[in-house]
Amino acid sequence: MNPTDNRSGAMTDGERARTAGLLMAGWVALLWLLEAVDTATGHSLDTYGITARDTGDLPSVLSAPFIHFGWDHVAANTLPLLALGFLTALGGLRRFFLVCAVIIVADGLGVWLFSPADSNTAGASGLVFGLFGYLVVRGFVERRPTGIVVGLLVAAIWGGAILSGIGPSDSSVSWQGHLIGLLAGAATAFLLPKAPAGRAGVYG
């Protein structure tokens, strides 16, 4: 049998990389499109951020990660979301969407509970911090050498920015959302079952 012939139905490394790249390019493009709509409509989408402890605003837990307060805000989240999302998606799309769902819901509820009264919080940074926590921890949890190397590289590149973003040094930044997202991502790395052999992407 030809050793390059893949009859199992599993994606090759190249196919996983293309799929992950297209997914994250589309995700980020959606964020920029939504910001364009927000700008064109006088920032009408800003109301879909999370208002702390407003029970009627709980659905915004799901919308807030896709809404940003201006072009600088979405630009700041674009590169880390692209990179960290891409690395996470290499582990499989089902796992990627599960990781993102857990982080978004846990982070959103935490922001809703612990943010200052009457605050409005939105942006993908909570998800970014969560994906960082997931990637740094996951390789060690699964004891996969490639995953450990990926986690160490992620920590080396973004660790300083992450640490500076989890303290209450800037009242205009939701450090609560950053910290809760980071903890949610790390916890998700422990809670998810180990990826099956041959389907672990960068963790294999």
Q: Which of 1-15, 98-112, 124-138, 179-193 has the lowest mean pLDDT?
A: 1-15
Q: Is the pLDDT of residue 201 over 50?
A: no
Neighbouring residues of 69: CB distance < 8 A, sequence distance ≥ 6: 43, 46, 49, 122, 123
pTM of the model: 0.90
What's the one-letter identity of residue 186?
A: A
Q: What Cα–Cα distance (Å) separates residue 128 from each residue in 45, 122, 183? A: 21, 13, 12
Distance CA 194, CA 203 (A): 10
Pair 64, 57: CB distance under 8 Å: no
The pLDDT tens digits for 91-142 are 999 999 999 999 999 999 999 999 999 899 999 999 999 999 999 999 999 9
What is d(CA 195, CA 188) in angstroms, rounded to the nearest whole number? 13
Backbone phi and psi for residue 70, each to the nearest 5 degrees, phi listed first: 110, 165
The pair phi, psi for residue 136, each rounded to 5°, is -65, -35
Give the whole-angstrom CA distance, residue 189 versus residue 6. 29
Is residue 14's pLDDT more than 70? yes
